[in-house]
Copies of this chain bind each other. A is one copy, B any other.
Amino acid sequence: MSFVEELGARIEAADSVVSVGLDPDMERLPEDVQDAELPRWAFNRRIIDATHEHAAVFKPNAAFYEDSDGWRALRETVAYAHGKGVPVLLDAKRADIGNTARQYAEILAHVDAITVNPYLGEDALQPFLTQDEAGVFVLCRTSNEGGMDFQHLELAAYDRRLYEHVAERAAEWNAQYGDVGLVVGATAPDELQAIRERVPELPFLVPGVGAQGGDAEAAVEYGLNDDGVGLVNSTRGVIFAGEHGSAWAAAAGDAARTLRERLNRHR
């Protein structure tokens, strides 16, 4: 089954397009997991227990696992999410050249999909794109202020901005390799709409709803493709919803369910 088919099946089964980000910031972990052998894994396990019914995917960001224990915690987390029937999208924003890209792409043996950075061009992404049944979400228009610096530049040809050209190229890659999506921030709904009209078939991963204050309605309306496949992510708004209390896992579950319901009103 292709990743997009798998994701579509999961969205239907969970009745949810919620992506739950798993960014276990060591400085914010609750006291009752801090003494675990792998605090990040202990935290993620309880978050997964509390939220998996409401999650279309779990999305760990690689930045929070970049050390020896971190990679162990990530492996455990991925296996546990899979045990709950939830696909895992690794938010790694990777890209590199030749044999190095092939090395990075080996992580796709463990996770179901990954985010990648387009700046190095198609051949740098090929090791990801050519993996069967693996999803590849290409950074297109990001929700941070710096998204204006380069992504927003107008090109001399094509009558497009850079991020629009990235979207068009990603659609070509999708036609050739399959299972390609885009990462498009929710903080600029007009642009989200314009990109959707340009590439109706691609699923989007829309971060920026929640802590980053994006527009949930636009995220759903334009984030999902023709078949209703797409993802709206929240990380801190879910996993740290109950940060200052002992019932933090239950609070995360409530936050995930509330977000699912809020998004489902627009599906």
Contacts and interface: CB of A to CB of B under 8 A. Distances in A.
Interface in A33-82: 61, 63-64, 66-72, 75
A96 interface: yes
A153 interface: yes
A1 interface: no
A119 interface: yes
B98 A117 contact: no
A141 B239 CA distance: 39
A76 B95 CA distance: 25
A124 interface: yes
A146 B123 contact: yes
Interface residues on A, range: 35 or more
Interface in A121-172: 121-125, 139, 142-151, 153-157, 162, 165-166, 169
Interface in A196-228: 212
A69 B68 CA distance: 6
A117 B95 contact: yes
Contact of A121 (B95, B125, B150): B150
Interface stretch (A5-13, A99-107, A174-182): A99-107
Contact of A96 (B93, B124, B147): B93
Contacts of A125: 146
Contact of A145 (B75, B123, B146): B123
Nearest to A154: B156
Contacts of A147: 120-121
A101 to B, nearest CB: 8
Q: Which of A70, A94, A157 has the most B CB atoms < 10 Å from its CB? A: A94
Given A154-B156, A155-B156, A63 B104 contact: yes
7 contacts: A66-B71, A120-B142, A120-B146, A124-B142, A125-B146, A154-B155, A154-B157
